Amino acid sequence: MKYVVVSGGVLSGLGKGVTASSIGVLLKSAGLGVTAIKIDPYLNSDAGTMSPFEHGEVFVLDDGGEADLDLGNYERFLDITLGRDNNLTTGKVYSKVIESERKGDYLGKTVQVVPHITDSIQDWIEDVAHKPRNDTGKLSDVCIVELGGTVGDIESAPFIEALRQFQFRVGTDNICFIHVSLIPVMGPVGEQKTKPTQHTVRELRGLGITPDIVICRSETKLTEEAKQKIALFCHVKSNAVLSANDVSNIYRVPLLLDQQGALVLLSQKFNFKIPKSRPLLDEWMDMATHVDDLTEKVTIAMVGKYTGLSDSYLSVTKALNHASFAASRKLVIEWIEASNLENEVEKSDPDLYADSWRRLKDADGVLVPGGFGDRGVEGKILAVEYARKSSTPFLGICLGLQVSIIEFCRNVLNWENANSTEFNDNTPYPVIIYMPEISKTHLGGTMRLGSRKTIINDKNSLASRLYHGLDYIYERHRHRYEVNPDFMNQIESAGMKFVGKDDTSQRMEIIELKNHPFFFATQYHPEFKTRPTKPSPPFYGLLMASSNQKIPNYSENQF
């Protein structure tokens, strides 16, 4: 097993996840099997209870693991399926060690960070790296380990020490350290400053890890002078100092690194041959060029409650992008705060209210994503009502399906006070209810999570067309509330169809609206399984409908 460890310095948010994923693409293009591990130094057991404002979206895996959004980057870039153990946190490590101590596994020894915590980290990495891949059942050849945070953080110290020891456990020929750092530009002459990178590499070396490759994030291409200075002061060869400058789209990052010899450096380190033909990289080149060539725009209004931080909806954004590539359209997202559509805002800030409604009505399609809590719910209901009445293409996800049901019951069935028990325990029409098996006292990992089966029960439905005529599908879930089956018949008799259900036929998974060009909502989160060349079917449908293109029958679907 070979290991590539990606760390970061100077500041967070440099794009370590994209860098790690891009390195994985290059290794995969050489015919190697790749898996990935993300290390998050926070004390939380997982990302499940963290606010999207705090940490971005919670990415849900097939096995129900709630993980850091970088695992989404790995799955999308590498087209692999990961599990909860591919995300390692301080909370998980300490819980495991304390549990072992309570059982007496340490035979009375004093339990310490070194060696017990550091050994546990190393064991975890090795165990996960040697698990067969879900897609092929084969062992991977390379495991990419991304260390979250910034070198020098107190939280990262045990992981840095574990990785220092790990290089001797697996052998220095089997591990490659890549350090991602910032190259700022200062002053009117625009000189690239290397001092921050020098300092972070010096700190990393002081902790016992010498990077084999330094990748420099900058707006423009790294100058030869800056490159030579980094090589001199950071103890790396000049050809191992790579520029990760801004590119036209994210799919050019693997190509950029490849042009500078990143795969050659890895092949020399790990002693493998690079094949003359690499079809995977040719596909990436075609895709990156196609994305750059898109000119005809399609605008989607994203009506949510976390619109102040786009990372809160990262997978939704990626799913929209991937669908726009397949629809040959340049995507424009109008971020609309749901609460700004509500009547109270019209009184307190009429300009903001008017602008929010103008942008909603100017959009070609409307998307209401998932979320928790009652803030902005009435605004989402108003957005659904607008999309339904104006025949604007609409996609609802999770809470988006639930507010679609509420809106339909209020305005079509005239159940004025219809609501979810999440927002009103005493509603006379509880059309959305708390799932009976879900804990009300513990939040972490207690929802209906992970990949679940949905049976498509109508061959003439949009769902059947979008999902290639399949009788059933598997999609990922993350919710505590569901459609109340007691109201199903009345809702269906009024024109809203439940075309997808679970095995029991009691849990509603997909709704469609008759006599509407595209009104589609899902209880599951289809965005978690999107891929650049294989867009999520509901998102593909939304983009095709929003750009006035015919949604092909599944037999015609080529993506």
Q: Span 412-428, mean pLDDT?
A: 93
**Residue 102 — very low, low, confident or very high, per pLDDT cuts 50/70/90?**
very high
Among residues 376, 400, 356, 357, the alpha carbon closest in space to that of 305 is found at 376
pLDDT, tens only, 391-400: 999 999 999 9
- Mean pLDDT score across all residues of the chain: 92
pLDDT, tens only, 232-279: 999 999 999 999 999 999 999 999 999 999 999 999 999 999 999 999
Q: Are 217 and 183 in contact (CB under 8 A)?
A: yes
pLDDT at 22: 97
**Residue 52 — very low, low, confident or very high, per pLDDT cuts 50/70/90?**
confident
Most confident of 14-18, 331-335, 343-347, 424-428: 331-335
Among residues 439, 459, 464, 448, the alpha carbon closest in space to that of 525 is found at 448
**DSSP, residue by residue, 473-498:** EEEEEEESEEE-GGGHHHHHHTTEEE
pLDDT, tens only, 59-100: 999 999 999 889 999 999 999 999 999 999 999 999 999 999
Read off φ and ψ for residue 254, nearest 5 degrees: -60, -40
Q: Span 160-170, mean pLDDT?
A: 97
pLDDT at 556: 46
Q: Are 161 and 209 in contact (CB under 8 A)?
A: no
**Residue 505 — very low, low, confident or very high, per pLDDT cuts 50/70/90?**
confident
pLDDT, tens only, 433-447: 988 776 555 555 567
pLDDT at 438: 67
Q: Which amino acid would we find at residue 496?
A: M
Q: How far is Cα of residue 190 from the mean position of the Cα atoms in its chain? A: 35
- Catalytic residue positions, numbered: 398, 525, 527
CA distance 54 to 40: 14
Q: Span 463-491, mean pLDDT?
A: 93
460, HSE (Cβ side, Cα atoms, 13 Å):
3
pLDDT at 30 over 60: yes
- For residue 115, is the peptide bond before it cis, meaning its omega torsion is within 30 degrees of 0? yes
Q: Which tokens go with 32? A: 């190697």
pTM across the whole model: 0.93
pLDDT at 446: 66
Q: Span 511-527, mean pLDDT?
A: 95
**Residue 327 — very low, low, confident or very high, per pLDDT cuts 50/70/90?**
very high
Q: Which amino acid would we find at residue 517?
A: P
pLDDT at 125 over 50: yes
pLDDT at 186: 84
The 10 Å CB-count burial string (b at 16+, else e) for 30-55 is: bebbbbbbbbbbbebbbbbebebeeb
Give the three-class secondary structure for 432: strand
Question: Regarding beta strands 34-40 and 87-89, do their DSSP bridges make them parallel or antiparallel, or are they unpaired?
Answer: parallel
pLDDT at 119: 97
CA distance 176 to 167: 9
Torsion, CA 185, CA 190, CA 191, CA 192, rounded to 10: 30
Which residues, 6 or more positions from 263, have their beta carbon under 8 angstroms from its beta carbon? 26, 27, 29, 30, 257, 274
pLDDT, tens only, 193-228: 999 999 999 999 999 999 999 999 999 999 999 999
pLDDT at 494 over 60: yes
pLDDT at 444: 58
Q: Span 499-511, mean pLDDT?
A: 91
pLDDT at 50 over 70: yes
CA distance 342 to 170: 59
pLDDT, tens only, 306-326: 776 777 899 999 999 999 999
pLDDT at 366 over 60: yes
CA distance 383 to 377: 10
pLDDT at 559: 35
